[in-house]
């Protein structure tokens, strides 16, 4: 009974954050007439699959989703693989390079992409990376790296150094000490970073818009805006249907990966 | 850790290696078909279908010139093109509208088509439409920077039941309402909880400026090659009249003020207001979304001293850096022949620029107000602001906030005039240097 | 967090000190290298180029010869009242979104970290705003705020024109900003909470500390590096955000929601003034960095 307020608070949060999912679902099943009612309905009166058939019939949503999946998986894995060692170094060693690196991480986030995008485009063009998916992966990795570094070095710092040292003193090599003690403790942080990189790549629009030109390399976010017209007029039905399909994979990915967040808790009990 | 970083380094190398190739735009080898990219902004179901069909038809008939249909979106096309133009990788054939064209033309990114236009296409499209795509190019020369094919005009979409109940005279293209009659009609249709009219004014500037031509309001004047803003009695007419509907007659729904073009529709269907002044293309949304028992009509826009409206066209252009401009022009003249323009206009619920296409039965039927819409094309003249260097900046920095404040009744018309002129001229001055 | 984390490497036996130092340096370079390659190529390069542009009259056009103009853009910026007006709006926006986002996310992360039922489901549902494609987010909130057909007026029984009201438009988009950014912050804080060694709480319970005391004396200090990291990043992201505003209000009504980044974006992409836009970007970056520097420095001092 003491927990009732807690559940109420949790429910309020979930309603506030997740109601759009219901809205997407309901909109995707509505007829255009029902969408234009002044008193919106949550449950469609005459559910119709027309929006789905329109959306999937007009656009290569499945192909675009597959390409997005490849790009998002590649970027997120690459981001973590690259940033983990660097983050460890940033957190554990004090040197000029690391201090510059930390400063850089912030600076790179502070500068708005609108100032970077044209010079970046020129570089990509000269490397013949424009209009290719690996090119997009490279850009996504570059721009999620700072966040990954910043967060991961925060998590590394939060792992008490004594644990690592204790393991080393026990006779294990440093590498093994890191692998057996630090790595499990970092698991939740790694998972959070992976998730972040995956979703930001999956949803990323601006770079994809300017870098990809051929229909056979288009990613999902580019395909979604095809349902919008000038001045914010949109074909809400097909857009909602397509967006539902774009939202679900991220949620599934999160559902799978969030178990790892929990296992981090168990790892926390491991004593040096 | 070393192993990991070695792996990461290897991954980068593989990635870089995998990235080789790709890129496009190499000149076609002899015997290979010429490849053209066509960036289209069509977004409505029928118009996307019409576009795809026409491209397929072309590709079948022309194995040596293959067109790739690339879809873009209105909201982002500007960002996309600015970047791709800067990188020299923009599509060959580009769909856009005349206000955006002015900028890209003076940037030097678009090809002057005047020498390339086939006679048939040129004569089929009236001079008033060509005027909307004639700009000063990057080198200071006058040129034609696109082929106009769809035009938007303003009409009034009205709730037929409320219109009939009010007993006002129903205007026709031959005899439209005057603004006085329009305001009178709006008042008659206003009763408790119901307004006569709704002005969706989220982006108030283009709409107001196009209507201002009714009273000869041009907002800009050019003397000795120097363009300045002017807000005289002609310019004030439409502003004052809309403001009166909102605050004096109280015949306009204040809730619509912050809304975009299509946002007032739910309230319109519900009968919260009787008339919606808007672009002709909104008829498509009305047909699609109106409840089955909802009856509506298309009325011509009111007239002042004239019925003139500023025209905005949708256009096809060729990139300056396209490697196959002649092939691109061939494609455009096929794509925009009279029969095809009629198809495209129908798909987008806009007016065809082609005179032959405008005579197509599909464009003159009474159904869904096509007759009224098509008739309004004769009132279209090129909007003066289209030719003003710096108009875009004036609009978003000065005019948009000022008009929003005016329509929200926060400032007087005199203040509007003062700010539009003073702050506006400061902006324009930068473009004269 | 304990002081150890910010202390230099632990002292070693003097004999091996030099060898250790050089080995450490080699190790560090090896660890950093993979991250440095893409950053130098795709981020530092373009950025230096962008900063350089700030001192030129560069335009995003084909027909313009760019020349060096020194501080001309800077002096123009100083007298650009509209920019400073939008800068003020940007400051209100980014501070309030960051603070509200952090408080809301911390509450949610604590709840999700408790042993409540359905928490796995709740965790997944809590990331919905993040998983939703940005293009629909704007459209959806527009419908929420719709004066006639909107959910919000329906719910509150009010008749408010949220996005067109001169005093309510900014708060209305702040809510959207908080909503959009909450999942990231929550996930990061949750991961941080999971990292707090359990023994500390066990020790706390032995001491008889109540829930509030445990939160204040154990959780918060342990979470500190993560909190500092995420709030700094949130602040920066929020300051740089303009996509939402672009869809919802386009800076209106009367410029009340014109965020500075929207302003700079229009300079660069609408009016093609790449040089001036770069100067605006540079100036904003310097101000934001100064604010962050102050914040980080204070946090660091308190941590010690």
C154 torsion bin: left (phi>0), alpha (psi -120 to 50), beta (else)? alpha
Question: For B248-285, what is each residue's pLDDT tens digit?
Answer: 999 999 989 888 888 999 999 999 999 999 999 999 99
**Angstrom distances, CA of residue C87 to CA of B327, C241, C285:** 49, 13, 12
Domain limits for position A211: 60-268
Q: How confident is the model at residue C8 (pLDDT cuts 50, 70, 90)?
A: very low
Q: Does A57 touch chain B (CB under 8 A)?
A: no
Which of B362, B382, B402 is the last residue before a domain boundary?
B382
Bridge-based pairing of strands B134-136 and B142-144 is antiparallel
A53 lies in a domain?
Answer: no
Residues C172-188, mean pLDDT to the nearest whole number: 93
CB contact under 8 A, A81 and B8: yes
Same-domain pairing of A88 and A205 = yes
Nearest to B37 among A213, A225, A228 (CB): A213
**Are A30 and A125 in a shared domain?**
no
Cα angle value A52/A56/A62 (rounded, 5°): 125
In chain A, positions 131-190, which contact chain B (CB-CB < 8 Å)? 131-132, 134-135, 137-138, 175, 178
Same domain? A14 vs A70: no
- pLDDT of residue C18 exceeding 70, the answer is no
Residue B410 to residue C38, Cβ atoms within 8 A: no
- The answer to whether residues B168 and B281 belong to one domain is yes
Contact between A82 and B8 (Cβ < 8 Å): yes
Same domain, B103 and B190: no
Q: Dihedral (C-alpha) B227, B231, B235, B236: value to the nearest 10 degrees?
A: 170
Q: Are C1 and A157 in contact (CB under 8 A)?
A: yes
In a domain, A54, yes or no: no
Q: A155: which chain C residues are within 8 Å (Cβ-Cβ)?
A: 191-192, 195, 226
Whether the per-residue pLDDT at B19 is higher than 50: the answer is no
The answer to whether residue B119 is domain-embedded is yes
Residues A101 and A30 in one domain: no
pLDDT at C183: 92
**For the segment B78-120, what is each residue's pLDDT rounded down to a tens digit?**
889 998 998 888 999 999 999 889 889 988 999 999 999 999 9
Do A215 and A246 lie in one domain? The reply is yes
* Pair A99, A161 in one domain: yes
pLDDT digits (tens, 9 = 90+) for B351-403: 999 999 999 999 999 999 999 999 999 999 998 888 888 898 999 899 999 99
pTM beyond cutoff 0.80: yes
| Of the candidates C54, C87, C55, the residue with the CA atom closest to the CA atom of residue C288 | C87
Tokens of A27: 């909109």
Residue B230 lies in a domain: yes
Q: Tell whether A38 and A102 lie within a shared domain.
A: no
Write the residue in C28, C35, C232 that is nearest to A145 by C-beta: C35
Residues of chain A with pLDDT under 50: 263-272
pLDDT tens digits, residue range B308-346? 999 889 999 999 999 999 999 999 999 999 999 999 999
Contacts of C141 (CB under 8 A, 6+ apart): C176, C244, C248
Same domain, A229 and A209: yes
| SS3 state at B91 | coil
> Using the beta-carbon criterion (under 8 Å), do A264 and C123 form an inter-chain contact?
no
pLDDT of residue C22 exceeding 80, the answer is no
Report the residue from C126, C184, C277 with minimal CB separation from A196: C184
DSSP state of B110: B
Under an 8 A CB cutoff, do B9 and C253 touch?
Answer: no
Same domain, A139 and A208: yes
pLDDT band (50, 70, 90) for residue C100: very high
Contact of A207 with chain B, judged by CB distance below 8 Å, is answered with no
Question: What confidence tens digit (pLDDT) does each residue in B158-168 have?
Answer: 999 999 999 99
The domain containing residue B182 runs over which residues?
Answer: 154-310+385-432
A233 with A108, same domain: the answer is yes
Interchain pair A131, B22: CB under 8 A: yes
Number of independent structural domains in chain A: 2
Cα separations in angstroms, B340 against B128, B313, B334? 20, 16, 8
In this predicted structure, what is the pLDDT of residue B49?
93
pLDDT tens per residue, range B166-190? 999 999 999 999 999 999 999 999 9
| B7 interaction partners in chain A (CB closer than 8 Å) | 81
Min distance C262 CA to chain B CA atoms (Å): 11
**For helices B325-335 and B45-61, angle between their N-to-C axes, nearest 10 degrees:** 120
C19 pLDDT band, cuts 50/70/90, is: low
Same domain for B215 and B166: yes
- Cβ pairs bridging A and C (under 8 Å): 315
CA distance B111 to B315: 13
B340 and B392 both lie in a single domain: no
For helices A133-158 and A113-126, what crossing angle results, to 10°?
130
Three-state SS annotation for chain C: CCHHHHCCCCCCCHHHHHHHHHHHHHHHHHHHHHHHHHHHHHHHHHHHHHHHHCCECCCCCCCCCCCECCCHHHHHHHCCHHHHHHHHHHHHHHHHHHHHHHHHHHHHHHHHHCCCCCHHHHHHHHCHHHHCCHHHHHHHHHHHCCCCCCHHHHHHCCCCCHHHCCCCHHHHHHHHHHHHHHHHHHHHHHHHHHHCCHHHHHHHHHCCCCHHHHHHHHHHHHHHHHHHHHHHHHHHHHHHCCHHHHHHCCCCCCCCCCCHHHHHHHHHHHCCCHHHHHHHHHHHHHHHHHHHHHHHHHHHHHHC
The tokens of A161 are what?
């150094």
Assess whether A141 and A254 both reside in one domain.
yes
Distance in angstroms (rounded) separating the CA atoms of residues B168 and B178 = 13
Banded model confidence at residue C17, pLDDT cuts 50, 70, 90: low
**Which pLDDT score is estimated for A171?**
65
Q: Which CATH number fits domain C54-303: 1.10.3720.10, 3.40.50.720, 3.40.50.20, 3.40.1440.10?
A: 1.10.3720.10
Tell me the two tokens of residue C11: 């002292």
pLDDT of residue B29: 60
* B194 in any annotated domain: yes
Res. C12: pLDDT tops 60: no
What is the pLDDT at residue B3?
A: 39
Q: Using one digit for the tens of pLDDT, what is the confidence trace for B2-15?
A: 334 444 444 444 44
What pLDDT does residue B334 have? 96
Contact yes or no for B79 and A134 at CB 8 A: no
Residues within 8 A of A (CB atoms), C 66-95 only? none
Q: Give the pLDDT score at B23.
A: 37
The ipTM estimated for the assembled molecules is 0.84
Minimum CA–CA partner of B290 in chain A: A33
Question: Which CATH number goes with the domain that contains B78?
Answer: 3.40.190.10
Q: For residue A102, what are its two tokens?
A: 């930390």
Task: Tell me: do A221 and A252 sit in the same domain.
Answer: yes
Pair (B224, B206) in one structural domain: yes
Instruction: Give the CA diameter of chain B.
Output: 86
Nearest to A82 among B8, B44, B69 (CB): B8
- Which positions 190-249 of C are in contact with A (Cβ < 8 Å)? 190-192, 194-199, 222, 225-226, 228-230, 232-233, 236-237, 239-240, 247
- Helical H runs in A133-182? 133-158, 161-169, 174-177
Query: pLDDT digit string (tens) for C183-231?
Result: 989 988 998 888 787 777 777 777 777 778 888 888 888 888 889 888 9
Closest chain C C-alpha to A44 CA, distance in angstroms: 15
Contacts of C134 in chain A (CB under 8 A): 203, 205, 221
Q: What is the 3-state secondary structure (H, E, C) of C148-181?
A: CCCHHHHHHCCCCCHHHCCCCHHHHHHHHHHHHH
Identify whether residues B281 and B339 lie together within a single domain.
no
A1 belongs to a structural domain: yes
| Pairwise pLDDT comparison (A181 vs B17), residue with the higher score | A181
**Looking at the structure, do residues B378 and B393 belong to the same domain, yes or no?**
no
Claim to verify: residue B124 and residue B205 sit in the same structural domain: no
Q: What is the pLDDT of residue C217?
A: 85
Assigned domain for B231 exists: yes
Residue B392 with chain C: CB contacts under 8 Å: 270-271
Domain count, chain B: 2
One domain for residues B272 and B390: yes
Mutate to test the interface with C, among A112, A162, A208, A234 (most CBs of C within 10 A): A112
Cross-chain Cβ contact A235/B43 below 8 Å? yes
A128 in a domain, yes or no? yes
Better-scored residue on pLDDT, C23 or C172: C172
């Amino acid at each position: 009974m003491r927990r009732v307020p807690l559940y109420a608070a949790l429910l309020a949060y979930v309603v506030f954050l997740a109601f759009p999912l219901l809205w997407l679902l309901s909109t995707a099943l509505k007829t255009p007439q029902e969408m234009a009612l002044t008193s919106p309905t949550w449950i469609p009166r005459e559910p119709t699959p027309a929006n789905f058939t329109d959306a999937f019939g007009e656009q290569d949503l499945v192909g675009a989703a597959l390409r997005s999946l490849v790009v998002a998986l590649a970027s997120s894995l690459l981001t973590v693989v690259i940033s983990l060692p660097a983050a460890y170094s940033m957190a554990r060693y004090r040197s000029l390079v690391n201090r510059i690196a930390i400063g850089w991480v912030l600076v790179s986030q502070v500068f708005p992409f609108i100032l970077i995008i044209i010079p970046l485009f020129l570089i990509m063009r000269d490397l013949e990376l424009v209009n290719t998916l690996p090119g997009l992966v490279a850009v996504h990795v570059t721009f999620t790296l700072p966040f990954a570094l910043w967060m991961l070095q925060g998590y590394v710092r939060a792992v008490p150094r004594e644990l690592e040292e204790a393991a080393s003193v026990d006779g294990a090599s440093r590498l093994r000490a890191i692998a057996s003690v630090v790595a499990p403790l970092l698991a939740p942080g790694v998972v959070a970073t992976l998730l972040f990189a995956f979703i930001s790549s999956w949803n990323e629009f601006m770079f994809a818009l300017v870098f990809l030109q051929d229909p056979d390399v288009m990613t999902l976010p580019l395909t979604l805006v095809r349902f919008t017209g000038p001045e914010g007029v949109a074909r809400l039905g097909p857009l909602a249907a397509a967006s539902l399909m774009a939202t679900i994979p991220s949620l599934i990915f999160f559902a799978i990966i969030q178990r790892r967040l929990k296992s981090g808790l168990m790892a926390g009990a491991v004593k040096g | 850790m070393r192993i990991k970083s070695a792996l990461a380094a290897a991954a980068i190398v593989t990635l870089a290696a995998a990235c080789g190739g790709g890129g496009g735009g190499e000149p076609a080898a002899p015997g290979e078909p010429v490849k053209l990219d066509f960036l289209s902004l069509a977004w409505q179901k029928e118009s996307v279908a019409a576009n795809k069909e026409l491209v397929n038809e072309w590709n079948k008939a022309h194995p040596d010139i293959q067109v790739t249909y690339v879809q873009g979106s209105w909201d982002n096309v500007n960002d996309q093109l600015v970047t791709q133009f800067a990188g020299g990788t923009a599509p060959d054939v580009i769909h856009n509208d005349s206000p955006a064209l002015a900028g890209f033309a003076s940037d030097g990114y678009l090809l002057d088509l005047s020498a390339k236009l086939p006679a048939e296409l040129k004569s089929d499209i009236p001079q008033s439409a060509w005027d909307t795509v004639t700009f000063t190019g990057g080198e200071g020369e006058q040129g034609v920077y696109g082929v106009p094919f769809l035009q938007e005009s303003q009409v009034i979409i009205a709730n037929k039941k409320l219109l009939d109940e009010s007993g006002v005279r129903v205007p026709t293209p031959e005899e439209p309402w005057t603004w006085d009659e329009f305001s009178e009609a709006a008042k008659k249709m206003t009763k408790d909880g119901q307004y006569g009219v709704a002005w969706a004014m989220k982006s108030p500037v283009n709409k107001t400026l196009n209507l201002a031509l009714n009273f000869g309001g041009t907002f800009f004047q050019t003397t000795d090659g120097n363009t300045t803003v002017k807000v005289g009695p002609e310019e004030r007419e439409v502003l004052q009249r809309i403001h009166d509907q909102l605050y004096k007659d109280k015949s306009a729904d204040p809730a619509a003020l912050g809304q975009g073009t299509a946002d007032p529709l739910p309230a319109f269907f519900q009968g919260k207001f009787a008339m919606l002044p808007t672009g002709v293309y909104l008829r498509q949304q009305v047909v699609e979304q109106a409840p089955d028992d909802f009856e509506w009509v298309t009325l011509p826009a009111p007239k002042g001293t004239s019925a003139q409206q500023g025209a905005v066209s949708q256009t096809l252009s060729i990139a300056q850096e396209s490697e196959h401009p002649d092939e691109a022009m061939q494609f455009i003249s096929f794509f925009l022949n009279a029969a095809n323009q009629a198809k495209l206009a129908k798909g987008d619920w806009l007016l065809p620029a082609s005179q032959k296409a405008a005579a197509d039965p599909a464009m003159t039927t009474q159904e869904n107000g096509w007759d009224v819409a098509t008739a309004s094309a004769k009132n279209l003249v090129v909007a003066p602001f289209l030719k003003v260097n710096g108009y875009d900046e004036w609009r978003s920095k000065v005019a948009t906030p000022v008009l929003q404040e005016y329509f929200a009744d926060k400032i007087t018309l005199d203040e509007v005039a003062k700010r539009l002129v003073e702050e506006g001229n400061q902006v324009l001055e930068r473009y004269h240097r | 967090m304990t002081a150890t984390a910010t202390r230099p490497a632990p002292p070693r036996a003097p004999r091996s000190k030099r060898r250790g130092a050089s080995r450490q340096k080699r190790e560090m370079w090896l660890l950093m290298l993979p991250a440095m390659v893409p950053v130098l190529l795709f981020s530092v390069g373009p950025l230096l180029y962008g900063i350089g542009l700030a001192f030129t009259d560069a335009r995003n056009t084909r027909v313009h010869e760019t020349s060096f103009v020194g501080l001309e853009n800077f002096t123009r910026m100083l007298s650009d009242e509209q920019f400073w007006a939008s800068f003020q709006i940007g400051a209100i926006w980014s501070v309030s979104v960051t603070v509200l986002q952090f408080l809301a996310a911390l509450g949610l992360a604590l709840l999700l970290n408790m042993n409540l039922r359905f928490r796995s489901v709740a965790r997944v549902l809590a990331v919905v705003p993040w998983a939703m494609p940005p293009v629909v987010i704007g459209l959806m909130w527009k419908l929420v705020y719709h004066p006639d057909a909107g959910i919000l007026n329906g719910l509150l029984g009010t008749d408010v024109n949220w996005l067109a009201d001169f005093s309510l438009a900014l708060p209305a988009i702040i809510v959207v900003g908080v909503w959009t950014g909450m999942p990231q912050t929550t996930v990061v804080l949750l991961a941080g909470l999971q990292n707090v060694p359990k023994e500390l709480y066990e020790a706390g319970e032995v001491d008889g500390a109540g829930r509030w005391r445990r939160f204040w004396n154990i959780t918060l200090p342990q979470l500190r590096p993560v909190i500092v990291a995420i709030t700094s990043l949130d602040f920066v992201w929020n300051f740089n955000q303009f996509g939402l505003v672009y869809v919802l209000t386009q800076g209106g009504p009367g410029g009340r929601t014109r965020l500075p980044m929207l302003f700079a974006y229009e300079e660069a992409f609408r009016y093609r003034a790449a040089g001036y836009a770069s100067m605006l970007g540079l100036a904003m970056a310097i101000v934001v960095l100064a604010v962050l520097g102050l914040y980080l420095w204070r946090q660091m001092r308190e941590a010690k």
